[in-house]
A and B are shown apart, each in its own frame.
Chain A
Amino acid sequence: MIENLIIYFLIPFIKIGAIVLILSGAIAYLTLLERKLIAHIQVRLGPMRVGWHGLLQPIADGLKFVLKEDIVPSKADALIFTLAPMISLIPAFVVFSVVPFGPPGMFEGLLRGILSRFLESASVERIVSNPIASGGFVTDINIAVLFVLSVSSVGILGVILGGWASNSKYPLLGALRSSAQMVSYEVAMGFAIISVLLYAGSLSLVEIVQQQQAGGWWYFFIQPVAFFLLLVCGMAETNRLPFDLPEAETELVGGFHTEYSGFRFSLFFLAEYANMITVSALAVTLFWGGWLPPFPNVPWLGFLGIIPPVAWFLIKVFLILYLFIWVRGTLPRFRFDQLMNYGWKVFLPIALGHVILYAAILAI
């Protein structure tokens, strides 16, 4: 009884708490990283005044958001207007419940050390031997990829509702654009992921990483095109710069969140950055071997195992986030018709052809 309570209740709760805390901090500092990096690309300094080289800037920003007046426009639909930012933010965090940060059994030693003080050894062994309880992830479900895709598309609802409930021109236009964009890129993204699933033969993210370990190759080296598709579609999904039409400042004032200010705006803002981390984590898990070091089965590269698996995961996620920001600092925004053209006439056929090609190769 107590073992089940610990396995299914206590440990997941601790992990969820840790992930929510760490993720919030990561998002806050991702904004700083973005501002600093873009600044240096443009030969500027970026935030410098709050703390050493602006290190406390995210905290100051957060405080500012909280202290601002909470405005609901008088003609807006108040209930949906308040609900929309939450709908947008919560799925962005929920997705992380299935993302594997480390291998199963990662916390075995730690758990055994702590639990053996309170419980007898038989029940300790029962808890520790449970791969989910001692693994570097909250849970491992056998449809994790579908879960990620479906939950993250709930976030789009928040954008649409927010634009609709504002009862104003520009937010509505932004929301329409974003729904069209997200829906059309979701298709190509799904196909890009399918070709990985064909190879791995599983929908569980943990299983996919383990397959990459067994194969000895990260899937990036086998399917670079699929990775590229996932990356581009991920940028479109998260409204990052080459595809940031929903909030195109120059055309739409502020896009779907024009009427939002203060804390509600910050929720949308957090959601955008959380989605960025989600896409990076998904790309790392599917294509860059999750927690694995490079070429996990090559013996003379064994020394790379010194760096713990979680660190490998974080390093890779950081690199992909860097790429996201780097691309933002480089490319201008697409026009809306170009966006749709690329989505339906370029990426979708490539993704489809890619799936067919790999399915044929695997069948032979």
Chain B
Amino acid sequence: MSNTMNFLKRIFLVDILKGLAVTFRYTFKSVYTEQYPKEKPKLAERYKGAPRLNNDPETGETLCIACDLCAQICPEDLIVVGSQRDPESRKKVLTHYTFDTSRCLFCGLCQEVCPTNAIELTQDFELATYSRSSMLWDRERLEKGWDRIEFGKNYHK
């Protein structure tokens, strides 16, 4: 019985027709391809990318209180926080802040330890540059985002 069934199956090309049906179904499935430079991929919610130093949205001043916690927790020692004590208010004031993206492993410990949410790893992942020196981000770049400074505009949006 099964032999005759197999014979009939082979005669009427059942398996080939099944295969054709599968490929026909797939023709109308929505595609997986991402048109990357044209449309940005959807990243995971907690994706950790380019660092940013946040400003207070109301006053426009930096949120960083120069506590140096990020620099201390960083496993790669790539954050350098420069501060000065204001002689009048006796408060620490941020003078400079560098972040070396060439060594960063995007562990996110800095943003976790930050008491004021000043340093934050954003969803921006386009970090490639033409020189090693431009991988060292200074405070201006960290505050404004790097491509705005390099190209004058956010060119790929």
Contact = CB atoms under 8 A, between A and B. Distances in A.
B19 A330 contact: yes
A45 B24 CA distance: 15
Interface stretch (A36-44, A107-115, A141-149, A353-361): A36-44
B26 A44 contact: no
Contacts of B16: 330-331
A157 interface: no
Contacts of B19: 330-331
A331 B20 CA distance: 8
Given A41-B26, A42-B26, A43-B26, A327 B20 contact: yes
Contacts of B30: 43
Task: Identify the interface centre among A40, A42, A330: most chain B CB within 10 Å of its CB.
Answer: A330
A326 interface: yes
Q: Size class of A's contact patch?
A: 10 to 19
B20 A43 contact: no
Task: Identify the interface centre among B30, B32, B33: most chain A CB within 10 Å of its CB.
Answer: B33
Contacts, number: 35
Interface residues of B, number: 15
Task: Identify the interface centre among A43, A327, A331: most chain B CB within 10 Å of its CB.
Answer: A43
Task: Identify the interface centre among B19, B20, B23, B30: most chain A CB within 10 Å of its CB.
Answer: B23
A326 B23 contact: yes
Interface string B1-41: 00000000000000010011011101111111101000000
B35 A44 contact: no
B20 A330 contact: yes
A224 B33 CA distance: 39
Contacts of A262: none
A48 interface: yes
Contacts of A48: 35
21 contacts: A37-B27, A40-B26, A40-B27, A40-B28, A40-B31, A41-B23, A41-B26, A41-B27, A42-B26, A43-B29, A43-B32, A44-B32, A44-B33, A45-B35, A48-B35, A326-B23, A326-B24, A330-B19, A330-B23, A331-B16, A331-B19
